[in-house]
Amino acid sequence: MNGQRKLLLSLSVAILLFLSIGYWGIKPERIDYPAYLSFSPDKDGIKAFRLLLEKKGKAAKEWRQSWRFLPQEQGQALLVIEPGPLQPGEQEAIMDWVAEGNDLILFQQDPELTELFTIEYTAEPDTLWSDVEVMEPEDGGIEKASVETDARLLGDDDITALLADEYGILAARKEVGAGSVTLFLTPEWLQNENILEHGHFELLWPYLQGAYTAVWFDEFHHGYQQQPGLLAVYPEWLLFITVQIALALLLWIWWKGKRFGPVYTLREWVVRRGDETMLAVAGWYERRRLAKDACRHQEQYLRRLFQEKWGLPAAASDQEVVRAAKNRWDDHAVSRLGALLKRLQDIQTEKRYGGAELIRDSKWIDEIISRLEKE
C-alpha cells in the first residue's frame, strides 16, 4: 500500500514538474503590435473601434498599399490614424481621391496636411482634462475628455469646427471638391483602453457613421505593405483593349475550327494505312524499279472513279471518257483530261520510265482525281 502511494506521489510530482517546465520554458511571447493598428488587441490598438464599425454593418477593410492605388469610386472613407511619413506624390493623390467624392478622416496630433488646416500651440501641459464641446451639430452638448496634445486648429471660413475646448478647436472638417477632409487632433481617443473612457466614444461616433460603401483603415503607413499586382502598373484602358483583343483572337481561332484537345488517330490508319507502310511500299517499288506499275495502279484508281462518278464501264475507251467529261467540265479541264489519257497510253509503250517521270505524272493524275472526288 505504501509502495502504491509513493508511486502516485512520484507520478504527480513528475507531471507538475513537466507542466511547469513547459509553461515557463516554452511560453509563447505576446506579440507587441505597433500603436493604432486596426487589428491590434493591445491597449494602444483600435481593434475595438473596428469591431464596432463591423457590428454596425460598415464594410471595414484594411488598406496596405500607397494612396496612389485607392479605388476610384465615390462614397468611401479612409481612416488614417497617426501615420508614418508620406511617400512622394501621396498628398496630391489623396487630395484627388477626396475631390472625386470620398472622405479622408485623419487622426493625428501633428498632421502633415498643414495646407488645409492652420495649427497653433498652447503653453499647457501634455495631458489635459477638458470639457469638450460639440460645435457641429450645435446642440451636441459637452463631454469630459482627456487631451494629450497642445495643438489647436485656428478657425477659418473654409472649415467647419466640430469639437472644441477652452483652448481652441480640436476637430474640424474642410470640403475638398465633392468630398471632405476631417481632422481630429485626438487619435488616443480611439485606442482600446480609452475608447470607452469618459466621453471619448460619444464625441467621435457621430462623425464616423456616414453612409459609406467602404471604410478603409490605412495600415500602409504603419509599415504593413502589400505590393500591387503585376497588372497594376498598366493603365485600365490598356488592360481593357488587351482583353478585347484576346477575346477576338479566341473567337477567330474558334471560327477557323482549331482543335484544343488531342487528335486521336484511328487504329486502322496506324496498322493498315500508316506512314511506315506507305514508305515501305514506296521503297519496294523504287528498289524493284516498278515505276510503270505504280503509274498503272493510279490509272486503275482513276478509271474506278469514272465508273463511280459518271457510270462509265471499267473498259471504256478514252474517247468515251472525254465525251462524258464534255457534259460536265469546261473546255480547259476536258483538254487536260484528254492529254492525260494520251500520256497514260504512251507510258505503256515506253521502254524506260523512272521516278522523275512518275512524280510528274502522279501530280497530273492527282489533279484529275481531286476534281472527281469533289463531285
Each residue's pLDDT expressed in tens, for the chain with a length of 375 residues:
566 666 667 777 777 776 666 555 555 566 777 787 878 878 888 888 888 888 877 788 888 888 888 888 888 989 888 888 777 888 888 899 899 999 999 898 877 666 788 888 875 655 667 777 777 776 667 878 888 888 888 888 788 888 888 888 888 888 888 889 999 888 888 888 887 778 788 888 888 877 888 888 888 888 777 765 666 566 777 878 888 888 888 888 777 765 556 666 666 555 555 566 666 666 666 666 677 777 788 888 888 888 888 888 878 888 888 888 888 888 888 888 888 888 888 878 887 877 788 788 888 888 888 888 887
Cα angle at 261 between 260 and 263, to 5 degrees? 120
Which cell is 74 given? 465615390
For residue 41, is it left (φ>0), alpha (ψ between -120 and 50) or beta?
A: alpha
**Are 189 and 204 a contacting pair, CB within 8 Å?**
yes
Closest CA to 131 of 164, 172, 160: 164
How does DSSP classify residue 108? -
Q: Is domain 47-226 given the CATH code 3.30.70 in the classification?
A: no
- What is the helix (H) or strand (E) element at residue 250, kind and residue range? helix 236-255
Q: What pLDDT does residue 125 have?
A: 55
As a whole number of angstroms, the distance between CA 131 and CA 144 comes to 5
The strand pairing partners of 176, in sequence order, are 179
Q: What's the confidence (pLDDT) of residue 55?
A: 83
Residue spans in the chain of domains classed CATH 3.40.50: 47-226
Please check whether residue 338 is in contact with residue 272, taking contact to mean a CB–CB distance below 8 angstroms: no
How far is the C-alpha of 125 from the C-alpha of 109, rounded, in Å? 14
Q: 279 to each of 264, 270, 282, 283, 366, how far by Cα in Å? A: 21, 13, 5, 6, 18
User: Which pLDDT belongs to residue 258?
Assistant: 58
Smallest CA-to-CA distance from 109 within 49, 199, 191, 43 is with: 191
Query: Considering only CA atoms, which of 38, 82, 67 is closest in space to residue 183?
Result: 82
The DSSP letter of residue 117 is S
Check residue 102 and give its pLDDT: 92
